[in-house]
Structure 1
Amino acid sequence: MSSLLEQAWNEVVKPLFQRPKRLQVAALCYRGAGDDKEVLLVTSRGTGRWILPKGWPMDGKNAAEAARQEAWEEAGVSEGQLDRTSIGAFDSEKEMDFGGIARCTTSVFPLKVEKLDDDFPEADERRRTWVPAERAAEMVAEKDLQKILREF
Structure 2
Amino acid sequence: MAKKPDSFFKQAGALPYRWDGERVEIVLITSRSSGNWIFPKGVIDPGETPESTAVKETVEEAGVIGELTGDALGAYEQKKWGGVAKVKVFPLLVTELLDDWDECEIRERQLLPIKEAKELIHDRLTEILAAFEEQVLSGAIQPAG
| TM-score of the aligned structures, taking structure 2 as reference length | 0.78
Runs of 4+ in structure 1 displaced over 6 angstroms? none
Assess if the C-alpha contact under 8 Å between 1:134 and 1:149 holds in 2: no
**What RMSD, in angstroms, separates the aligned Cα atoms of the two structures?**
2.2
Q: Once the 2 structures are TM-superposed, how far is the Cα of residue 116 of structure 1 from its aligned partner? A: 0.9
Q: Where does residue 126 of structure 1 map in the other structure? A: 107
Q: Once the 2 structures are TM-superposed, how far is the Cα of residue 147 of structure 1 from its aligned partner? A: 1.8
Q: Which runs of 5+ in 1 are unaligned?
A: 1-19
Aligned length: 127
Q: Where does residue 129 of structure 2 map in the other structure? A: 149
Assess if the C-alpha contact under 8 Å between 2:73 and 2:131 holds in 1: no
Opposite residue 73 of structure 2, the aligned amino acid is: I
Residues 72-126 of structure 1: per-residue CA shift (max 9 Å, x gap): 0000113x221352111111223x4xxxx33111100111001010111111010
Identical-residue share of aligned pairs (%) = 38
2:11 is the alignment partner of 1:24: yes
Opposite residue 148 of structure 1, the aligned amino acid is: I
Opposite residue 104 of structure 1, the aligned amino acid is: A
Q: Once the 2 structures are TM-superposed, how far is the Cα of residue 134 of structure 1 from its aligned partner? A: 2.6
Q: Where does residue 136 of structure 2 map in the other structure? A: none
Farther-moved stretch of structure 1 (101-110 vs 47-56): 101-110
Q: Once the 2 structures are TM-superposed, how far is the Cα of residue 151 of structure 1 from its aligned partner? A: 3.0
Q: Which runs of 5+ in 2 are unaligned?
A: 1-5, 133-145
